[in-house]
Structure 1
Amino acid sequence: MSQKKYIIQNNPFIVPTTDGKIIKEHFGNATDRNSQLSIAHMKAPAGWSEPFQTPKFDEFTFIISGKKQFIIDGETVVLEAGQSIKIEKNTRVQYSNPFTEVCEYIAICTPAFSMNLVNRED
């Protein structure tokens, strides 16, 4: 009997948060112990923001709906639905949604997202 060559993810890991953000990791450290790549479906509420960070992973973001603000090495960038961005590892960045609607997006990190690699500032 042959082994399946695919995995359908019907039960993503829901990351516990305290800021109203919804994070569902479909593949990565928390779901399938994959340390090379993580894929997460996110919803950031209006008014949400994170501290600045300098991650040791590349992060790709694709905006599904709403808008998301990035402050990248001091430059402010705003993406809207249908746009995407790659932010290279070891780049100081802050993610936020200072707008009035929820921002829904997909985030892909290589290597996979890990609290040990994100380097958030206090």
Structure 2
Amino acid sequence: MHEMSIALAVVEQVARAAQRHGARTVESVRIQVGELAGVVPEALDFCFELACADTVVRGAKLLTEPVAARARCGGCATEWPVGMPPDLCCPGCGGAQAELLAGRELQILSVCWADGPAPAPTHQEG
């Protein structure tokens, strides 16, 4: 199941970013997943929850934004939704010169920290 490797990669990147920014807790991670990325959102949610265990990302919500697949014909410039299974024949001219415009995305869009850095310790001389 490649959703687990994706989830592990997302958690690793978010945990590194949290550490760099001094965040102690992550509330949510928003990702974009294209229709043709080969990812099953429910499986990714499950794997994300498992991958978060014992990390700063534990308990964070995974917010998935789907991206519909779209193509454009290289011959007549018609654009159309590709759908599943993918239909790469132009509905305008019947040509097979499709250029995929969207639908293969798989990226982290944003991360919401629940809190900021830990307060710096104060030293009192007395």
Fold match by TM threshold 0.5: no
Comparing both structures, which one devotes a greater share of its residues to strand? 1
User: Structure 1 or 2: larger helix share?
Assistant: 2
Q: What is the TM-score normalised by the length of structure 2?
A: 0.25
> Is the radius of gyration larger for structure 1 or structure 2?
2
Higher relative contact order (CA 8 A, sep 6+): 2
